[in-house]
């Protein structure tokens, strides 16, 4: 079966949405999850800035960073 590929412009917003959901899990933990949540928020801000700037290299870096965040 052939894997369907999607563009970075489609994949990055999907990854941002996924990571925002993960961020909610970290915040639910309470004080123990706040450091992790702070790092995730920073990564999401960088991704948002990359999208707004239209810098494809920054978007690619942000996408790769967000993919590393696990629930």
Encoded tokens for 39 = 């790092």
Closest CA to 62 of 49, 70, 7, 39: 49
Check residue 49 and give its pLDDT.
98
Domain locations in the chain?
Answer: 31-71
Check residue 71 and give its pLDDT.
86
Could you identify the residue written with the tokens 């991704």? Answer: 47
Check residue 1 and give its pLDDT.
57
Report which secondary-structure segment, H or E, holds 8.
Answer: helix 8-29
Whether the full predicted model's pTM is greater than 0.75, yes or no, is yes
Nearest 10 degrees: Cα torsion 36, 33, 22, 53: -40
**pLDDT tens for the 71 residues of the chain, in order:** 567 899 999 999 999 999 999 999 999 999 999 999 999 999 999 999 999 999 999 999 999 999 999 98
């Amino acid at each position: 079966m052939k894997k369907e590929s999607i563009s970075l412009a489609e994949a990055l917003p999907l990854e941002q949405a996924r990571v925002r959901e993960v961020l909610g899990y970290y915040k639910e933990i309470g004080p123990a999850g706040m450091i992790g949540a702070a790092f995730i928020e920073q990564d999401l801000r960088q991704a948002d800035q990359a999208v707004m700037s239209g810098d494809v290299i920054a978007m690619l870096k942000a996408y790769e960073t967000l993919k590393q965040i696990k629930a």
